[in-house]
Amino acid sequence: MNTSNSLKETIPQKFNKILLTRNPWFKKATKGIWILFLCVVLGFPLYVLSVSVNLFGLFGDMPSLKAIENPKNDLSSELISADGISLGRYFRFNRSQVTYDQLSPDLVNTLLLSEDHRFYDHSGLDFRAYMRVIFGVVTFSSSSKGGGSTITQQLAKNLFSTRGEELDGPLMVGPLRILISKTKEWIISVKLEKNFTKEEIITMYLNTSDFSSNAYGIKVAAETYFDKQPSELNVQESAVLVGMLQAPSFYNPKRNPNNALTKRNEVLYKLYSHGYIKSQAQYDSLRKLPIHLDFAVQNQNEGLATYFRTVILNDLMNWCKEHGYDLWESGLKIHTTLDSRMQRYAEEAMAESMKPQQKTFDTHWKGKNPWIDEKWNEIKGFLDSRIKQTETYRNLVARYGEGNDSVKIMLKLKKPMTIFTWNGERDTLFSSMDSLNYYKRFLHAGFMSMDARTGAIKAWVGGINHKYFKYDHVRQGTRQPGSSFKPFVYGTAMETGYNPCLKLQDVSPTFKVPGGTWSPPNAEGDRGTGEWMTMRQAMAKSKNSITAQVLQRVGEVNVVNFAHRVGITSPLDAVPSLCLGVSDVSLYEIVGAYSTFVNAGIHTEPFYITRIEDKNGNVIENFVPKTQQAISEQTAYKMIYMLMGGVQEEGGTSRGLNFNLRTDNEIGGKTGTTNNASDGWYMGITRDLVSGAWVGGDERSIHYKQWDLGQGSKTARPIWEKFMIKVYADQSLEYKKGQFRRPSAKMDITFDCSAYELPDDDSGTAQEDWNPNNE
């Protein structure tokens, strides 16, 4: 019986029986292995479950299922031009999404082969990779080490900050912190794989990754480093960006080009080893190439429409507050009226005009200071008073105390500084006083162009350089418009029934004012030549004397009302000097007001946003400009005819416009210059565009010594002229040469001024009683 039983035992069973009876240590080892096995099989799942439910609050919170199914991706909101070009973004983290179809095949394959070549074979966790990592750690083998994280795990870390403080728990200290964080990434990864396709995960990962240089997401990274879209990236460019994923700053090709080159070549080798790069020759050729960057960090000082982006920020913030959006993180698409081509032409026109203008100004004041009082004497202590208005001065006073000598010493302490010049940035040694003295000598400018028919603003240039001069001279700044205000005086007369052909004598009238009388002189300094001229000729030549006569006839209050109806929103003083444009207005409102003339008397409030979409492309709101019939179509066209006089009448202030610009084209224009030439303006109208330019010093006391050098025809008109030449040269734009639209109804007057010639009045009596509607 015993023999029979012993025969039935297998050799392994006998071997185990001998070991267990003769070797107690083996029995203990076997028991330990079983215990370890049971701990792994049962304990690990319990551990993972504990982390997932945050047992007793020890492990820290986990993202909710809803959050994982609909992960929040902080997105920058983007301004988009009317022709579909990105003008810039508002962001905390500069990130903008792309779809999978917008990724180049080279980019996708570089990512997969370099970071996770079994991506399509796992469900978020790559156990073969984990075994490789464990083996490498145990054997101290560098060839077997490496990241075990999958792309899905990296996405989990990007989306939910698993290494940050938001998901912290009491046990997350020391080595346990890494283990628990990794565990959370495993759990999230599995859930992400259940809720999204592989292509969606790839796209989300690239959209949420940091690429240094304030570039978050592959779209911004491609634009920042290569000035390309992700769909345009080639193999070597893709290798640079994918290489940055492990350590964005360390492998930044701008800051650390050698590190980036080495890493790029490592990525290229992986592509070669996996067969994506087909031959040794192709690999050798690619690895020898330098990294060609087209680098530009995106911020509010770079790109097109920098002033526009900054000025409309408050409007957008108010809209977001009202509608429950975060401008910085909601990924809004803000479609604007600006045309990127016209915006570029406007910025070019300003630079091309202001660079030589600044040179002229510097030469004019060489060896002297340009800040002068009303008697043309230098303002003493000007810089000392202005430095006290700076943040630097306030900070020094807060640190050392008012009146402390250290404040003066620090203000005069020279330090390395990068300054603006019209030939590019320059490094120098400047003190705060040096800097103030340098920048106060610059002339500034503003320019705006709008479509008179729609009210859409097409170009907005608020200054000469947003990085160094933040103040916007389109809407923020208000200055005296000078003679560019005169059309509102004549417009009131046209509405009252006056005819552009009415002749008045060039003699300055006298007004009773508090303390005495006032007679406005002409720009030449005289009170008139006595010459008879039509109202059209008078406005074309910008005669103060005759404009004052018109104001006297129609009344100051009526002029104020007329100006406000057609679009001026700033307060206007109903005083005799109103005819010379002494009340401050903005370029934004005066361009809008002139547009009323071109738009058949309908005032359309200038606007710049057409619609706002959410991050998924759903339209949240459409914007329609506000319109009202401000003046009659007849009055509007009379003013177009009056403004064309500046180009057509002998002695008109727009006669000097480029000949090709005037050929086969109807143009109206009006210059404006303040008494001391501190402000130069030019307003130009065409059949569908109304544009305006302003040029002047940072303060009204900074200007030319000679009035003729600072007049609008020399300072501001060149900007408008260069802009329009560029616009007409671009055949892709809808704005062409042509005639102004004629009124739909027959005019109540004829513009043949010869029909209204009256015999010379030997008595010199002004024709004030002449009825323009009776021949």
Q: What's the pLDDT tens digit per position in 324-351?
A: 999 988 889 999 999 999 999 999 999 9
Q: What percent of the chain lies above the pLDDT cut of 70?
A: 82
> Residue 492: what residue type?
T
Report whether pLDDT(411) > 50: yes
pLDDT grade for 768, boundaries at 50, 70 and 90: very low
pLDDT grade for 766, boundaries at 50, 70 and 90: very low
Report whether pLDDT(40) > 90: no
The pLDDT of 445-467, averaged and rounded, is: 97
pLDDT at 230: 96
Report whether pLDDT(132) > 70: no
pLDDT digits (tens, 9 = 90+) for 716-739: 999 999 999 999 999 999 999 999
Report whether pLDDT(275) > 90: yes
> Residue 106: what residue type?
D
Question: Do β-strands 77-80 and 333-336 pair in parallel, antiparallel, or remain unpaired?
Answer: parallel
- Cα–Cα distance measured from residue 640 to residue 649, given in angstroms and rounded to the nearest whole number: 14
CB 643 within 8 A of CB 669: yes
Distances (CA, A) of 769 to 498, 503, 504, 774: 11, 11, 11, 11
pLDDT at 567: 97
**Alpha helix ranges (H) inside 227-273:** 235-244, 257-273
pLDDT at 137: 47
pLDDT at 189: 78
* Mean of all residue pLDDT scores within the chain: 86
- Cα–Cα distance measured from residue 772 to residue 775, given in angstroms and rounded to the nearest whole number: 7
Q: Which uninterrupted H or E stretch holds 129?
A: helix 127-139
pLDDT at 145: 46
The pLDDT of 185-204, averaged and rounded, is: 85
CB 742 within 8 A of CB 637: yes
pLDDT at 762: 38
Tokens 């303006």 correspond to what residue?
681
**Two tokens at 423?**
């030939």
Provide the 10 A C-beta neighbour count for residue 25.
8
The pLDDT of 422-448, averaged and rounded, is: 96
pLDDT at 769: 40
pLDDT at 327: 92
Report whether pLDDT(355) > 80: yes
- Cα–Cα distance measured from residue 377 to residue 381, given in angstroms and rounded to the nearest whole number: 12
CB 679 within 8 A of CB 672: yes
- What region does 82 belong to: left with phi over 0, alpha with psi -120 to 50, or beta? alpha
DSSP assignment of 376-412, as one string? S-B-TTHHHHHHTTSHHHHHHHHHH-TT-HHHHHHHT
pLDDT digits (tens, 9 = 90+) for 587-616: 999 999 999 999 999 999 999 999 999 988
- Cα–Cα distance measured from residue 477 to residue 464, given in angstroms and rounded to the nearest whole number: 14
The pLDDT of 260-272, averaged and rounded, is: 96
CB 365 within 8 A of CB 441: yes
Q: What percent of the chain lies above the pLDDT cut of 90?
A: 67
CB 94 within 8 A of CB 331: no
CB 580 within 8 A of CB 544: yes
Report whether pLDDT(767) > 60: no
- Cα–Cα distance measured from residue 500 to residue 490, given in angstroms and rounded to the nearest whole number: 9
CB 498 within 8 A of CB 535: yes
The pLDDT of 619-625, averaged and rounded, is: 95
CB 649 within 8 A of CB 751: no
Residue with more model confidence, 323 or 138 = 323
**Two tokens at 380?**
């003493």
pLDDT digits (tens, 9 = 90+) for 698-722: 999 999 998 889 999 999 999 999 9
Distances (CA, A) of 458 to 79, 81, 336, 687, 695: 14, 9, 9, 15, 20
pLDDT at 760: 46
pLDDT grade for 248, boundaries at 50, 70 and 90: very high
The pLDDT of 532-558, averaged and rounded, is: 96
Q: Give per-residue burial for 71-83: e unless 16+ CB within 10 Å, then b.
A: bebbbbbbbbbbe
Residue with more model confidence, 768 or 129 = 129
The pLDDT of 135-159, averaged and rounded, is: 64
What sign does the dihedral 176-177-180-182 (CA atoms) show?
negative
- Cα–Cα distance measured from residue 270 to residue 256, given in angstroms and rounded to the nearest whole number: 22
> Could you report how far apart the first and last alpha carbons of the chain are, in Å?
148
Distances (CA, A) of 253 to 190, 215, 221, 284, 367: 34, 13, 12, 20, 46
> Which domains are assigned to the chain?
2-53 (no CATH), 66-314 (1.10.3810.10), 470-609+625-756 (3.40.710.10)
pLDDT at 157: 82
